[in-house]
Amino acid sequence: MFTKISTAISRSSPLIYLIFYILLIPVFGVLYTEFGQGGFYAPYSRYEPDAMSDTAQLASTLRAALQRSFDARSGTQFIVDNWQLDLNSLKVDNLTSTDGSQLSFRVQFTANGLGNLEGARQLGWSVVATVPEHPTSARIGGSNGAIVYRFPEADFSRYASPFKEQNQKLFDLIFGQGYEGFDLTAPALALSWGEELQFRKYLAGIRGDPFAISGAFWRMIYLSVVVMTTLGLGDIIPITWQTRAMVGTEAIIGIVLAGLFLNALAYRASLRQSST
């Protein structure tokens, strides 16, 4: 019985095994995508082009949130000493996070001189803010819907006077709030619920969640290729028993199909040799 089964397997076309081998790569990629969320760790995904695109999108989101805050304080004079900030020059860049527990970014303006400085224009007015993942405060309802307030911090200790006081004023002015009569005494960054989710997702990606970074499906297809071919690069690691079971199953199937493919090729080669 075993001999008959072995012969039947050997007589099968190698192309069949090759097709199954290739088709199982996207199948397992889909399985990883659908059932593997929260089960993989990918510390290097943050350096991929998709992650760079996410960084640019988050910078744009933070800029929009700050601009919305400025619009809500239309009666506020955005003046530091004898300089008035040009709100249209607002720029957010240099987003950095080492471990996903906090996010640092730079807010930059151009300022126009006032009084005896009238006509002067100064570039590069900036402050670097650090926003921790926690704590947050939220307000539900109102015309703006759910608003989440994150409380940024800044280190002014490296500045000498009067630049230290000047940058402190700039920081307080940038992150002041005034929504519908709801004022915060501490500087805050106001995010809509959608922006808040984007913020959290970005930090989760920094912490190594491959599904928190754009391009997760193709990342899982890549993982499937690595597992099926038993390369074992280790840049995406299963960390739950479910994902480890899926990865182990695919690796075993890949080895078996590769063996059957080579066996079928060897059988045909032996037939050709015996017929000559």
pLDDT of residue 264: 84
Under 8 Å between Cβ of 87 and 78: yes
Domains of the chain: 2-43+211-275 (1.10.287.70), 49-206 (no CATH)
Phi, psi dihedral angles at 128 (to 5 degrees): -100, 120
150 beta partners: 136, 189
pLDDT by residue (tens digit) across 26-45? 999 999 999 999 999 999 99
pLDDT of residue 180: 47
pLDDT of residue 120: 87
pLDDT by residue (tens digit) across 144-202? 668 888 889 988 887 777 778 888 899 988 998 755 445 556 788 989 989 999 999 99
Point out the least confidently predicted range of 48-52, 97-101, 261-265: 261-265
pLDDT of residue 269: 77
Q: Is the peptide bond preceding residue 238 cis, with omega within 30 degrees of 0?
A: no
pLDDT by residue (tens digit) across 197-249? 999 999 999 999 999 999 999 999 999 999 999 888 889 999 999 999 999 99
